[in-house]
Amino acid sequence: MFGIRAAIRHAAVARTTVARCAPSVLISRRLYSDHPEETYEQFTNRYVKFFENVDDTFELKRGLNNCFAYDIVPDVAICEAALRAARRLDDYATGARVFEALKIRIDKESDYHNYLQALKPVKDELGIQTKEELGL
């Protein structure tokens, strides 16, 4: 019961605090990126450089999450750099998940197969398989 009273009191305080704030605080704009108006080529170059310089698995996964959060399918060059980074960091699972993310992001099955064909040399060189190839 004490927890509910504290929550109600906290909500009341929060409501009055928001009401006393300056109007400029209430109307704010969220910037999702430091690069609001970049071209697809600039986007590609930025993420290729990022994955070439990544040095731990947390940063690799964070970069992949950020890259796939945009409303575009990453270029083959980005995927290749991410796969090489995953292999360099000895993170096979993340490398395989790049293909899963591509499959989810790409609408047409034929486009997904085009990506697989474009990434086949890198896939074979690094020994990374897709989920289907692993039988999962």
The answer to whether the pTM exceeds 0.75 is: no
Judge contact between 51 and 82, C-beta under 8 A.
yes
Q: For 12-69, what is each residue's pLDDT tens digit?
A: 444 444 444 444 444 444 444 566 688 889 999 999 999 999 999 999 999 999 999 9
Distance between CA atoms of 112 and 65, rounded to whole angstroms? 19
6 pLDDT higher than 90:
no
Instruction: Spell out the residues 6+ positions from residue 98 whose beta carbon is closer than 8 angstroms to its own.
Output: 64, 79, 82, 83, 86
- Amino acid letter at 136? L
Domains with residue ranges and CATH for the chain: 31-134 (1.25.40.40)
Token pair in block for residue 115: 């990506």
Which contacts (CB < 8 Å, 24+ apart) does range 31-34 have? Answer: none
Q: For 72-113, what is each residue's pLDDT tens digit?
A: 899 999 999 999 999 999 999 999 999 999 999 998 999 999
